[in-house]
Every structure is written in structure tokens, then in C-alpha cells.
Amino acid sequence: MTTPLASKIAREIGTPCVVIDMDRVEANIARIQAACDKAGVANRPHIKTHKSPLLAKLQIAAGARGITCQKLGEAEVMVDAGIDDILISYNLIGEEKMARLGALQARADITVAADNEVVIAGLPQAAALAGRSLNVVVECDTGRKRAGVETPAEAIQLARAIAASPGLSFAGFMLYPTETGWPDAQRFFDDALAGVRAHGLDAMIVSTGGSPNLKNLGQLKGATEHRPGTYIYNDRMQVAAGVASWDDCALNVYATVVSRAGPDRGILDAGSKTLTSDPGGGLDGFGLILDHPEAKIARFAEEHGFLDLSRSNTRPNVGDVLRIVPNHVCVVVNMVDEVVIVRGDEILGMLPVAARGKLR
Amino acid sequence: MTTPLASKIAREIGTPCVVIDMDRVEANIARIQAACDKAGVANRPHIKTHKSPLLAKLQIAAGARGITCQKLGEAEVMVDAGIDDILISYNLIGEEKMARLGALQARADITVAADNEVVIAGLPQAAALAGRSLNVVVECDTGRKRAGVETPAEAIQLARAIAASPGLSFAGFMLYPTETGWPDAQRFFDDALAGVRAHGLDAMIVSTGGSPNLKNLGQLKGATEHRPGTYIYNDRMQVAAGVASWDDCALNVYATVVSRAGPDRGILDAGSKTLTSDPGGGLDGFGLILDHPEAKIARFAEEHGFLDLSRSNTRPNVGDVLRIVPNHVCVVVNMVDEVVIVRGDEILGMLPVAARGKLR
């Protein structure tokens, strides 16, 4: 079974492709902005999900304070497009990056994160190049064991090191609590805040993160802003986390069934090069096929999606074009140079993923 | 510990980046071409690994008969660069693809694969557009349960359907046996060949595939060519399969340690957006760190590689630049717009991954 829009997309654009429903994008932007407004925290969306200046500007127009980028190269694309308030939520290290950060900071308001002394020792070079002071937030780990200092004492020490560095300004704290870790994050933050205040500093920015954490919005007393990314498109992980419904999923991968060599199996023309091997935190299979929800995308070659149809009552035929909600949209968007923009059943055009593949 | 080359690359290019050693590339090309020559099968390298016309031309200059592409978009890049003998080892379906295939076939010798009647019914449209006959091989499944007909009887039936279709020419069989499945593949092929001969057809092309199958080169009596891809760079999977040594691995990801927030853990600036979540067929972790082989890349966020250092005697410091052999090079190459080319300790320049991201 192929929907009329899927037929049209296959004919005019071809499969596999990534399709974005703008009605849903706009609804997602409006809903989460309203939730941030209601919770009294600013919205600073993470653009890693869409990697598009056009969509970042829609988020800002709807009320977002600025944006978050994970990499300098993403921020460069966004500043080139005229966006001027960016948090780079990442430890930046090395001469090459300091030269670029300095050039960027000369053109826009950039805040960066740091969780160690090596990072802090390098940043003054960028500030000197920019000729203006650079805001730095201390990244705190509150259970995720990713980046971030593990204790308030370390956070206080780094805040003091930032404040004592030429050209750097201590701006506050960046947290990314686990979904159940907000009480711990509160204790960590309260201690860290008291500590920096005891040294005459204060936290202008207290930034929390994550779309799955939208259900915890406003839970951290003292938070000034939140950095949700995935909410603009949503995916299986967000539905599993209870922060989106299937109707909120604005991104589908369209793929064609190209082989049905056995009764219980089939092959999609979308493999790991399109849908990626991201397990989505332990979901069953690699995407939900809206047209055949009992079918499982069981495994991948780069250009082959292996369908397990053993549980399916209705089985697709060769040539059918199917719509898939991926496990994790952010990584899927990064696979393509452009996405197809639709509204209802109308194809509006192609949108470049302008900050795709910016590793550095 | 950071090698002098790693320091230079971090300073001049920045991390993370994908680095190719041309001495090793040339040695890999020469070694496998010699193995094909010795086995008496033509080499038709799969360019999905490097996605670069320049490297495809090196393979052809070394003796390869032509190339293999998985997608039409890859073949278009290669034909634009002047390569004129291409097997597209994939079921192509739909008007949009037939228009492009016809245009391509008018400019170069293209052979395509088919494993079902729907594909065969569409291909005459491309041949008609090209104004010349199109070679079609029947894809046979010999245990991998990917694409491919499951029985010789089906293969014979499709061969006859191809031969009876306007503008199509039955050209032979395409197989991709499992590493241990070559005796089965021989039986399948012998039966299929006898069957098509009984109907007055013959197999001009008998193509086997896979770099892990290089150890089986020449095992299929009647094979005319082999389609290895990964051998040009090699990776952890190839070493695990016993067809390459660590010294044959020509591709390294260079990544910087950006955080060491706990004694047993660290964070690399290369996450799933660089190294990909490809499990490499069940390998432990997501890459071998040459500088710290006991360290494990345990899991990923998009821009964070989570290091488990609990088994490491020597532990990297923040700022160290590490060299990583990925699980699977083909998917890593597809993440980047360009790779860094080095020879020994000299940086030669950047090579575009010209056919990157060609999903269609």
C-alpha cells in the first residue's frame, strides 16, 4: 500500500528520502515554546536535530532566546545566516578551534562550555582574537556520565578559574540531567551556586537539556533556559520517552520495497546509510513502518533494510513505498544533504541540511 | 600520547577527521589486484567504500575491469568522471530511476542486477531511453538472506524473463556468498547455469562479492569477477575476518580527548556522527584506539565517544589526539565530505568524498 503522497514523492524525487511535514514542524515549535513560556524558562533549541538556519529562525521567531550548537562548524553556518546568540555546548580544544572561535565571537554572541582546566587554558586565545570577552559555562555531570564535572566542588573551582582567566567571563552552569535525575541535579546546582556566590560570582545562565526532559521543564529551581533538540521533528525515542505522540512525528523516511525473495522477508532501499544503526536506546528494530507497524526493520546493510515480516498480517509488495519513523531523527538528518518539505499532500520543495556533517 | 602527525593534523585541519594513508592504499590496491590476477578472476571493486572517482581510477589503472556501485547516484558521479564500465549491484525500481538509468546507459556500459519480475518489468523503459540494450544479471541469494532469488529454478525463470524483455540482455549471475557458503553457492550456480544453457542462454558475467570473501577468491568454478570493496582501506571487521592485518588499515579517525571527568572514563570528540553506531558484526566497542588498545569506545552520543578506561594501564589526557581504526570504514567514509590524505608523516591534502550520501 502506497499513499498518494508517497507515490508522488517516489515519482518526482525518488526513494529513499527524508520527508518533513511543515504543519507538524510548526505545531511542534509552537507547543514547546508555549511549554517553555509557561515554565518560565527560555527556550534555546539545539539545532543538531535539523541543522538548518531556516528552521532555527522559525524557532527564534516563535520566541526562542537563541540556539545551541554542538560543534563550531554548526555555529559558523548559523552565524553566516545571521543568528547572533549561540551556546556551543561542547569542550573546544586546540589552536585550530581557538582561531575559528575567535573569528566567530567577533561576529556574534557566543557562549561555550568547559568541564576541565585544559579547555579553560585555551579559551583566552579565542577571546584575544575576538577582542571581546567570552562567556563560559561550567558543564556539570548529573548522572549521565558524559562530559561534565562530577562534583559541585570541581564546578566551583572551574568557575573561579574561568573568572580568573584573561578575556573569559564565568556565565553559569550547563546541565543535562537524566530523566529521573532532577532532584540530584537540584542538589548539585544549589551547592555549586552557593559556592560560586561565596566567591563573589553568580550564574547568569543555568541551562538544562534534552527533549526527553521536556516533561521535567521547570523542575530545576533556578534554571534560566532549556535546550531541547529533537522536539522539532520527534521520533520513536521521543514517543517511547512519553514526550511526543506519533502524530507529532514530523519526519518520515520514505523507502521502497525492492525485494521480497522469501515470504517472511523483504528488503527496503533504505539501509544504515539512511536510517543509521542507532539503536534508539534499545528499541525493537530500526524504525516504525507506519504502513506496516507489525513489520520489523531487523538489521541493515548500508543500502539494504532487512524486513522481518513474520509477524505481519499484511505484507508489502515489491515497489510499495513505505513511510518510516526512525529511531532517532537527529542522526538520520545528518545522513542527507537535503530534506523534502511537504505540507499535507503537497511537495513544497527541498531544504538543504546546511550544517550537515560539520564534525569540527 | 600524540604522534607528530596527529599533532600536525589537529593543528592544521582539526579533529575529528578521517585520515587516509596513501602508501597503504596503494599497497592494498596492488595486493588484491595481484590476488585476483592469480585466481583468474577480474577485479570489479565496489566503490561504496571510498566513493571517490580518483581512487576508482587508481583501481582501474592497477588492472580492475571496471567498478561496482550500489546506487545510481554513485554511478552518476563515476560516469561524470569518465568511468565507463559499471555494475550497479542493486534492484532499481520506479520511473525516476529508469529515467536516470537510461541517461546513464546512453553514456557508459552499465549492467544492473535484478531479483524479481517487478524490476525486470521496469528496466526496458531505461533501455528504450538509452537507445541500446541493457545488461542484466540475476542476483542469487546463497545464504545471506539479503536480496537474491532463493532457488536456481527462480534464477532460470528470471534469466528467461530478462532475455524475453525488449531491450534487455541476460548477462549472467551475481552472488554474494557467506564466508562459509561457497560450496552451496557452487551448487546453486551450477544448477542455474545448466538451466539457462538448456534454454539457449549463457552467463557472460558470474560475479562474486565481498572483501571478507577475498580468502575464497577463485573458489567458485566459473566465476568471472569479484567485487571487493573494503580492501582498499580495511578495518576492524576485515582484521577479524582474517583478510587484513592492522598494518593494512589505511584509514584512521583522528579524535581528541575532550573530557576526563572520572578516572575510568573519558570523552572523545568523535561520536556516532563520525564513527557511526555500526556494531561491526558484534565487535567489542566501536573502534580500536591504536594509541590505547585496552581502552574501549563503549558507546556514543552524536558528538561524544564514551571511553571506558577501566582496563587501561596508560590513560589518555585531555588534549591527546588519538588514532582509531573504525569497525567498518565504508559507513565512516559516508559521514564526511572529504578525507585527509597523508603519506607517511606528510599531509598531502584533502580528497572529496564525491559520491558521499548518494542515497538514490
Task: Give pLDDT tens digits for B59-106.
Answer: 999 999 999 999 999 999 999 999 999 999 999 999 999 999 999 999
Q: What is the pLDDT of residue A313?
A: 86
CB contact under 8 A, A148 and B259: yes
Are residue A134 and residue A161 in the same domain, yes or no? yes
Q: pLDDT tens, position by position, for chain A (360 residues)?
A: 799 999 999 999 999 999 999 999 999 999 999 999 999 999 999 999 999 999 999 999 999 999 999 999 999 999 999 999 999 999 999 999 999 999 999 999 999 999 999 999 999 999 999 999 999 999 999 889 999 999 999 999 999 999 999 999 999 999 999 999 999 999 999 999 999 999 999 999 999 999 999 999 999 999 999 999 999 999 999 999 999 999 999 999 999 999 998 899 999 999 999 999 999 999 999 999 999 999 999 999 999 999 999 999 899 999 999 999 999 999 999 999 999 999 999 999 999 999 999 999
Does residue A150 sit within a domain? Answer: yes
pTM (2 decimals)?
A: 0.97
Are residue B218 and residue B149 in the same domain, yes or no? yes
Are residue B293 and residue B339 in the same domain, yes or no? yes
Are residue A87 and residue A224 in the same domain, yes or no? yes
Min distance A315 CA to chain B CA atoms (Å): 16
Are residue A219 and residue A268 in the same domain, yes or no? no
Q: What is the pLDDT of residue B296?
A: 97
Amino acid symbol at A245: S
Using an 8 Å CB-CB cutoff, list chain A residues near B260: 116
Are residue A193 and residue A95 in the same domain, yes or no? yes
Min distance B352 CA to chain A CA atoms (Å): 13
Give CA separation, B109 vs A260, B43, B65, B82, in Å: 28, 16, 12, 11
Separation of alpha carbons B300 and A146, rounded Å:
9
Q: What is the pLDDT of residue A50?
A: 98
Does residue B358 sit within a domain? Answer: no
Does residue A276 sit within a domain? Answer: yes
Separation of alpha carbons A159 and A116, rounded Å:
10
Does residue A28 sit within a domain? Answer: no
- In terms of DSSP bridges, do strands A251-262 and A321-325 run parallel, antiparallel, or are they unpaired? antiparallel
DSSP E strands in chain B: the ranges are: 17-21, 42-43, 67-69, 85-91, 109-114, 134-140, 168-175, 205-209, 225-227, 251-262, 265-268, 288-289, 296-300, 305-308, 321-325, 338-343, 346-352
Could you tell me what percent of chain B has a pLDDT over 90? Answer: 98
Are residue A121 and residue A50 in the same domain, yes or no? yes
Using an 8 Å CB-CB cutoff, list chain B residues near A278: 272, 277
Separation of alpha carbons A151 and B75, rounded Å:
54
Picking from A90, A96, A261, the nearest residue to B303 by CB comes out as: A90
**Contact map slice: A 95-154 vs B, CB within 8 A:** 95-97, 115-116, 118-119, 141, 145-150
Residue to test with chain A: of B18, B89, B93, most A Cβ within 10 A: B93
A–B CB contacts, 8 A cutoff, strictly below:
184
Q: What is the pLDDT of residue B1?
A: 78
Using an 8 Å CB-CB cutoff, list chain B residues near A96: 10-14
Q: What is the pLDDT of residue A1?
A: 79
Give CA separation, B105 vs A279, B43, B89, in Å: 39, 21, 15
pLDDT classification of B313: cutoffs 50, 70, 90: confident
CATH for B98? 3.20.20.10
Residue to test with chain B: of A273, A307, A320, most B Cβ within 10 A: A273
Picking from A317, A337, A357, the nearest residue to B336 by CB comes out as: A357
Are residue A123 and residue A266 in the same domain, yes or no? no
Domain extent for B267: 4-20+243-350
Are residue B140 and residue B221 in the same domain, yes or no? yes
Given a contact cutoff of 8 angstroms between Cβ atoms, the answer to whether B355 and B73 are in contact is: yes
> How is residue A239 written as a grid cell?
514517543
Does residue B144 sit within a domain? Answer: yes
Give the H or E element holding residue A73: helix A72-80
Does residue A359 sit within a domain? Answer: no
Picking from B14, B258, B274, the nearest residue to A91 by CB comes out as: B258
Separation of alpha carbons A200 and A30, rounded Å:
39
Give CA separation, A106 vs A29, A109, A133, in Å: 30, 8, 10
Residue to test with chain B: of A92, A123, A259, A286, most B Cβ within 10 A: A259
Q: Is B201 left (phi over 0), alpha (psi -120 to 50) or beta?
A: beta
Are residue B13 and residue B104 in the same domain, yes or no? no
Does residue B35 sit within a domain? Answer: no
Separation of alpha carbons B21 and B287, rounded Å:
18
Using an 8 Å CB-CB cutoff, list chain A residues near B306: 145-146
**In this structure, how many other beta carbons lie within 10 angstroms of the beta carbon of residue B30?**
13
Q: What is the pLDDT of residue B261?
A: 86
Picking from B93, B150, B331, the nearest residue to A319 by CB comes out as: B93
Does residue A161 sit within a domain? Answer: yes
Using an 8 Å CB-CB cutoff, list chain A residues near B330: 302
Q: What is the pLDDT of residue B356?
A: 98
Are residue A111 and residue A161 in the same domain, yes or no? yes
Q: Which ipTM was obtained for this model?
A: 0.97
Count of structural domains, chain B: 2
B201-232 confidence digits (pLDDT tens): 999 999 999 999 999 999 999 999 999 999 99
Q: What is the pLDDT of residue A126?
A: 98
CATH for A299? 2.40.37.20
Q: Is B276 left (phi over 0), alpha (psi -120 to 50) or beta?
A: left
CB contact under 8 A, A319 and B97: no
**Contact map slice: A 203-222 vs B, CB within 8 A:** none
CB contact under 8 A, A319 and B118: yes
Residue in chain B closest to A261 (alpha carbons) equals B149
Given a contact cutoff of 8 angstroms between Cβ atoms, the answer to whether A286 and A275 are in contact is: yes
Min distance A150 CA to chain B CA atoms (Å): 7
Q: What is the pLDDT of residue A233?
A: 98
Are residue A224 and residue A318 in the same domain, yes or no? no
Q: What distance, in Å, lies between the first and last C-alpha atoms of chain B?
A: 42
Q: What is the pLDDT of residue A261?
A: 86
Domain boundary among A228, A259, A278: A228
